[in-house]
Amino acid sequence: MREELILRSLWFEDNSLMIIDQTLLPGEFRIVKLSSCDEVAHAIKTLMVRGAPAIGVAAAYGFYLGIKDCSEGNIDERLDESYELLRSTRPTAVNLFWALERVRGVAITARPAGVDATKVAILNEAHRMAEEDVATNRKIGEYGSTLIKDGFNILTHCNAGALATVDYGTALGVIRAAHEKGKRVHVYADETRPLLQGARLTAWELKRDGIPVTLIADNMAGFLMKQGRIDMVVVGADRIAQNGDTANKIGTYSVAVLAARNNVPFYIAAPLSTVDMSLNNGSEIPIEERSHEEVTTVKGQRIAPEGVDVYNPAFDITEAELIKGIITEKGIAYPPYKESLQKFFND
Ligand SMILES: CSC[C@H]1O[C@H](OP(=O)(O)O)[C@H](O)[C@@H]1O
C-alpha cells in the first residue's frame, strides 16, 4: 500500500531517516529506518540511498542523527566525528560536501545557544534542504520541459529521478514535467552497467508514472541515435566544474560522444548545488572507484573468472563542448558556462 503513495526517496519520521532501500529495487520495495549517523553513512556508501541531491539531504539528516542524543559534554566531539564520517562516504557528488558545509555552518552558529538549540537548528536545516530540493527539481522540470516537443524520443542514462533526489528528479523531472503538460514522450533508458540504475530504477520509476519507457543495454544507444530515433539526451550530474565539464555516472561520456556524432542535443539537468565553481575543469573532479565485485557479479551471480583484473570507475567526465545546455532551477545555462553559471549564482 505504502509503495503507491511514496514518490519520495527519503523522509524524516519517528526521529529517524526513512529511506527506500534502492539496492533491492525493482524486486523488493523495502523502507529502511536509519536512526544513527553510522547507519546513514553505511546507506550512502552501499547506495541504499544514492544520487547527488539525495545523498546531500541524507547526509544532513545523518549529521543530526549523530548528535541527537548528545549532551554538553560530548556534542562538539560528535559533531566533528559525524562530519568526518559522512564526508568519507563517497567522493564525487559535490552535493554531499555542499550539504555538510551547510548544516555544519548552522551548527556553529547555533552552538553558543546550547545543545538543544543546536540540535533543533540542524534538524530544521535538514528539513529545509529536503523541501528546497523538491521545489528545485520542479523548477528544473519546468525549464527543461520547454526543450521537449510532443512526440520526442528521449534517451537517459543511469537514474536521475525521484529516487536520486528527495522527490521528482532532475533529468526525469524534465521528462515528468513534459509528460504532465500532455506532451507525448518516449524514454529510452540505458540499463547502466555495472549497478544497473537505469534498468532497476529509471525503468521502474517511469513505468510507475505511466511514462512510456524502453530499456536498452548501454551498447545499443549509439545504434538508436544513428537510426535517427533519438531526439534528445538528458542526464543528471554529480559535480559540474565552472567551465561546464560534468561528472556523471560512468558511460555518460560515451553517450555524449555518440550524441555529438549523430547531432543529437545532449543536456545536463542539475541543481546549482551540483555546480562546483571552485574547480576550473573536469580534470579536478575526484572520480570514485568501487569494488571489483560490482563488475564481476550481478546480484551475487559471478559473470567473470575469479581473480580477473577489474577497473570500476563509478563516474566519468563529459567535456563542456559536448553539452548543449545545463538545465538548472534558475534557467538553462548555455556556453560559455563559467559566465552563464556564475550569472545564475548571482541572480
Ligand atoms: C540526480 S543526481 C543522479 C546521479 O547520481 C548517480 O550516481 P549514483 O547512482 O552512483 O549515486 C548518477 O550519476 C546520476 O546521474
**Residues 258, 184 within the same domain:** yes
**Residues 310, 176 within the same domain:** yes
Three-state SS string over the chain comes to CHHHHCCCCEEEECCEEEEECCCCCCCCCCEEEECCHHHHHHHHHCCCCCCHHHHHHHHHHHHHHCCCCCCCCCHHHHHHHHHHHHHCCCCCCHHHHHHHHHHHHHHHHHHHHCHHHHHHHHHHHHHHHHHHHHHHHHHHHHHHHCCCCCCCEEEECCCCCHHHCCCCCCHHHHHHHHHHCCCCCEEEEECCCCCCHHHHHHHHHHHHHCCCEEEECHHHHHHHHHCCCCCEEEECCCEEECCCCEEEECCHHHHHHHHHHCCCCEEEECCHHHEECCCCCHHHCCCCECCCHHHHEECCEECCCCCCCCCCECEEEECHHHCCEEEECCEEECCCHHHHHHHHHHC
**Residues 128, 158 within the same domain:** no
User: Which residue range is the domain that position 241 belongs to?
Assistant: 140-346
Using CA atoms, how far apart are residues 91 and 287, in angstroms rounded to an integer? 7
> What is the pTM (predicted TM-score) of this model?
0.97
Gap from CA of 116 to ligand 1 centroid (Å): 35
Query: Could you tell which of 238, 250, 294 is best to mutate to test the pocket of ligand 1, judged by most ligand atoms within 8 Å of the CB?
Result: 238
Cβ proximity of 57 and 65 under 8 Å: no
CA nearest ligand 1 atom 15, residue: 236
**Residue pLDDT, tens place only, 53-74:** 999 999 999 999 999 999 999 9
Cell of residue 264, nine digits: 543529437
Nearest atom, ligand 1, residue 248 CA: 13
What pLDDT shows up at residue 1? 37
What pLDDT shows up at residue 7? 73
**Residues 86, 47 within the same domain:** yes
Nearest to 32 by CA among 197, 23, 103: 23
**Residue pLDDT, tens place only, 217-235:** 999 999 999 999 999 999 9
Nearest atom, ligand 1, residue 55 CA: 11
Residues of the chain with pLDDT under 70: 1-6
Look at residues 115, 137, 159 and tell me which one is the last residue of a structural domain. Answer: 137
Q: What Cα–Cα distance (Å) separates residue 178 from each residue in 130, 159, 296?
A: 23, 17, 38
CA nearest ligand 1 atom 13, residue: 249
Q: Quick one: what percent of the chain has pLDDT higher than 70?
A: 98
User: Does the annotation flag 261 for ligand binding?
Assistant: no
**Residue 197, ligand 1, Cβ within 6 A:** yes
**Residues 69, 217 within the same domain:** no
**Residues 128, 152 within the same domain:** no
**Residues 123, 179 within the same domain:** no
What pLDDT shows up at residue 4? 42
Using CA atoms, how far apart are residues 270 and 246, in angstroms rounded to an integer? 10
Look at residues 113, 137, 161 and tell me which one is the last residue of a structural domain. Answer: 137
User: Does the annotation flag 107 for ligand binding?
Assistant: no
Cell of residue 269, nine digits: 539537468
**Residues 243, 339 within the same domain:** yes
ipTM over 0.95: yes
Cell of residue 15, nine digits: 526521529
**Residues 194, 84 within the same domain:** no
**Residues 251, 224 within the same domain:** yes
Look at residues 137, 162, 192 and tell me which one is the last residue of a structural domain. Answer: 137
Gap from CA of 6 to ligand 1 centroid (Å): 20
**Residues 175, 281 within the same domain:** yes
What pLDDT shows up at residue 237? 98
Q: How far apart are the first and last CA of the chain?
A: 43
User: How many domains would you assign to the chain?
Assistant: 2
CATH number of the domain at 287, please: 3.40.50.10470
CATH number of the domain at 42, please: 1.20.120.420
**Residues 133, 144 within the same domain:** no
Cis ω on the peptide bond leading into residue 212 (within 30° of 0)? Answer: no
Nearest atom, ligand 1, residue 50 CA: 11
Using CA atoms, how far apart are residues 273 and 60, in angstroms rounded to an integer? 14
Cell of residue 284, nine digits: 579536478
What pLDDT shows up at residue 5? 40
